Amino acid sequence: MTQRAGAPCLPSGIALGDGSPPAPSRLGWTKGLPRSHSPCEHIQSIKRVSMARKKIALVGAGNIGGTLAHLIGLKELGDVVLFDIAEGIPQGKALDMAEATPIEGIDIAYAGTNDYSAIKDADVVIVTAGVPRKPGMSRDDLIGINAKVMSAVGAGIKANCPDAFVICITNPLDAMVWVLREASGLPHNKVVGMAGVLDSARFRYFLAEEFNVSTEDITAFVLGGHGDTMVPLTRYSTVAGIPLPDLVAMGWTSQEKLDQIVQRTRDGGAEIVGLLKTGSAFYAPAAAAVQMAEAYLKDKKRVLPCAAWVEGPYGLDGIYVGVPVILGAGGVEKVIEITLNDAEKAQFDKSVDSVRGLIAASRELMPK
Ligand SMILES: NC(=O)c1ccc[n+]([C@@H]2O[C@H](COP(=O)([O-])OP(=O)(O)OC[C@H]3O[C@@H](n4cnc5c(N)ncnc54)[C@H](O)[C@@H]3O)[C@@H](O)[C@H]2O)c1
Ligand SMILES: O=C(O)C[C@H](O)C(=O)O
């Protein structure tokens, strides 16, 4: 179906009636063409495409993809291309958001597409393509569908933007990052998974509620795989620098209450799925991925928990799992190895084993 925004556009590569070739643009369409020559079969675009701005491709234009596009726009991080296999959805969301730009005073371009060529030369790709879970399902139940989706998305990235920084969100997270990296062939430091920032934010929020203090003053750490075995680390989580075990000793909370908060953090995704019934969380996941993208685009050197490739640290011989890393213009610039006590190490190892099993299962599902 042909859909168009205010500015005339044409998918790049299609010649004009007068025979002159269209000027290519980074978002995959051409500007300045008369309406009658502008079929825009795949791509919904708006005017003011810029070579100076960063290009951010969102593969998957569902709940998280749409929220990502909105947040990225509000922060003016770059021009946004929404890609999805569902026809009309990325185009419609892109046009809707483009129409909000005059109100918000935002100078970025939005495009929606069903054509991988539109993600060409993207600086950042955030992947949410696939299916979310429903009540009663575990994230691991999504592996059969989502591993195949990640294989296709990885091929699309390889063909169109092999220099991009790629953030995977699709579940089961750690294994899907692995599939995406394998299928795209990108360097390991340029492919990461978003989970730790979200899990830590949930932990921080629950702690702020318990202590009745600002979320800003709480730091929290969640390591391991993004599943039921994730490891919220109380020793490394603080209120204004005071570790949680000290706060228990100070009588701010009880060990029992802290244990409940840790468990609620582990169950944070399922709690939202149980409430929504038809899908999973999307506001906080999108905010978390935007924080990671911003760290890369602005070379912020943020220290964030991410599903990163770990080879050496923690005694691991090459696996994607949640660990603290430094994120900057080099992608994952360093994996930070923190000291774990015996109990924490046992939990982390259990989580790593669970991820290993999912990666082995994913390997079988990838096209040979
Ligand atoms: N890592 C995390 O912390 C975290 C948090 C929340 C959700 N998730 C996961 O993120 C994924 C997306 O969640 P959502 O709420 O946005 O789901 P959604 O159903 O709203 O959106 C997914 C989109 O992917 C599209 N899609 C399916 N197959 C595709 C393909 N081959 N190529 C391109 N697009 C394709 C669908 O058409 C849909 O629009 C799910 O797997 C969910 O479990 C992960
Ligand atoms: O729980 C889910 O299925 C989605 C996501 O992993 C989350 O933690 O919100």
Q: What is the CATH number of the domain that holds 321?
A: 3.90.110.10
Whether the CB of 285 sits within 6 Å of ligand 1: yes
Residues 169 and 276 in one domain: no
pLDDT interval class at 156 (50, 70, 90)? very high
Residue 248 main-chain phi, psi, to 5 deg: -65, -45
- Most confident of the ranges 2-6, 27-31, 209-213: 209-213
Domain end, chosen from 162, 195, 228, is at: 195
Which residue puts its alpha carbon closest to atom 9 of ligand 1?
170
Q: Give the residue numbers annotated as catalytic, written as ranges.
A: 226
Least confident of 33-37, 70-74, 179-183, 311-315: 33-37
For residue 14, report the distance from its CA to the centre of ligand 1, in Å.
31
User: What is the atom index within ligand 1 of the atom nearest the CA of 129?
Assistant: 24
Residues 83 and 171 in one domain: yes
Whether the CB of 145 sits within 6 Å of ligand 1: no
Per-residue confidence (pLDDT) for residue 31, from 0 to 100: 32
Whether the CB of 156 sits within 6 Å of ligand 1: no
In a domain, 99, yes or no: yes
130 known ligand binder:
no
Residues 181 and 308 in one domain: no
pLDDT interval class at 50 (50, 70, 90)? low
Stretch 292-305: mean pLDDT, rounded?
98
In a domain, 12, yes or no: no
Percent over 70 (pLDDT), the chain = 86
The pLDDT of residue 98 is above 50: yes
In a domain, 48, yes or no: no
Residues 267 and 295 in one domain: yes
Residues 134 and 163 in one domain: yes
For residue 198, report the distance from its CA to the centre of ligand 2, in Å.
9
Whether the CB of 147 sits within 6 Å of ligand 1: no
Domain end, chosen from 151, 169, 195, is at: 195
Per-residue confidence (pLDDT) for residue 217, from 0 to 100: 98
Stretch 221-238: mean pLDDT, rounded?
96
Decide which of 265 and 3 is more confident.
265
325 beta partners: 304, 335
Per-residue confidence (pLDDT) for residue 176, from 0 to 100: 98
Residues 151 and 281 in one domain: no
Residues 179 and 242 in one domain: no
Q: What is the CATH number of the domain that holds 166?
A: 3.40.50.720
In a domain, 44, yes or no: no
For residue 170, report the distance from its CA to the centre of ligand 1, in Å.
6
In a domain, 18, yes or no: no
pLDDT interval class at 52 (50, 70, 90)? confident
Residues 230 and 159 in one domain: no
Per-residue confidence (pLDDT) for residue 27, from 0 to 100: 55
What is d(CA 288, CA 151) in angstroms, rounded to the nearest whole number?
A: 24
242 known ligand binder:
no
Residues 180 and 79 in one domain: yes
For residue 277, report the distance from its CA to the centre of ligand 1, in Å.
15
Of 84, 178, 275, 304, best ligand 1 pocket probe by most atoms within 8 Å of the beta carbon:
84
What is d(CA 175, CA 225) in angstroms, rounded to the nearest whole number?
A: 9
60 known ligand binder:
yes
What is d(CA 97, CA 69) in angstroms, rounded to the nearest whole number?
A: 8
Which two tokens mark 108?
């970025």
Whether the CB of 139 sits within 6 Å of ligand 2: yes
Residues 208 and 76 in one domain: no
Stretch 19-39: mean pLDDT, rounded?
38
Range of the domain at 206: 196-364
Per-residue confidence (pLDDT) for residue 24, from 0 to 100: 42
The pLDDT of residue 14 is above 90: no
Per-residue confidence (pLDDT) for residue 38, from 0 to 100: 36
The pLDDT of residue 318 is above 60: yes
Stretch 277-286: mean pLDDT, rounded?
98
Per-residue confidence (pLDDT) for residue 93, from 0 to 100: 98
Whether the CB of 288 sits within 6 Å of ligand 1: no
Residue 60 contacts residue 80 (beta carbons within 8 Å)? no
> 3-state SS of the chain?
CCCCCCCCCEECCCCCCCCCCCCCCCCCEECCCCHHHCCCCCCEECCCCCCCCCEEEEECCCHHHHHHHHHHHHCCCCEEEEECCCCCHHHHHHHHHHHHHHHHCCCCCEEEECCHHHHCCCCEEEECCCCCCCCCCCHHHHHHHHHHHHHHHHHHHHHHCCCCEEEECCCCHHHHHHHHHHHHCCCHHHEEECCHHHHHHHHHHHHHHHHCCCHHHEEEEEEECCCCCCEEEEEEEEECCEEHHHHHHCCCCCHHHHHHHHHHHHCHHHHHHHHHCCCCCCHHHHHHHHHHHHHHHCCCCEEEEEEEEEECHHHCEEEEEEEEEEEECCEEEEECCCCCCHHHHHHHHHHHHHHHHHHHHHHHHCCC
Residues 183 and 236 in one domain: no
Whether the CB of 243 sits within 6 Å of ligand 1: no
Which residue puts its alpha carbon closest to atom 2 of ligand 2?
269
338 known ligand binder:
no
Tens-digit pLDDT profile for residues 185-204: 999 999 999 999 999 999 99
Stretch 276-303: mean pLDDT, rounded?
98
Q: How many domains does the chain have?
A: 2
Mean residue pLDDT across the chain: 89
User: What is the atom index within ligand 2 of the atom nearest the CA of 198?
Assistant: 8
User: What is the atom index within ligand 2 of the atom nearest the CA of 272?
Assistant: 9
356 known ligand binder:
no
Query: Of the ligands numbered here, which is closest to the C-alpha atom of 142?
Result: 1
Q: Looking at this predicted complex, what is its ipTM?
A: 0.99
Least confident of 14-28, 233-247, 252-266, 322-336: 14-28
Whether the CB of 160 sits within 6 Å of ligand 2: no
For residue 69, report the distance from its CA to the centre of ligand 1, in Å.
14
Domain end, chosen from 165, 195, 225, is at: 195
pLDDT interval class at 49 (50, 70, 90)? low
**Residue 211 exposure: Cα atoms within 13 Å on the Cβ side:** 25
What is d(CA 107, CA 73) in angstroms, rounded to the nearest whole number?
A: 8
Tens-digit pLDDT profile for residues 236-257: 999 999 999 999 999 999 999 9
Decide which of 294 and 15 is more confident.
294
The pLDDT of residue 1 is above 80: no
User: What is the atom index within ligand 2 of the atom nearest the CA of 285?
Assistant: 9
Whether the CB of 194 sits within 6 Å of ligand 1: yes
Query: Of the ligands numbered here, which is closest to the C-alpha atom of 85?
Result: 1
Residues 169 and 229 in one domain: no
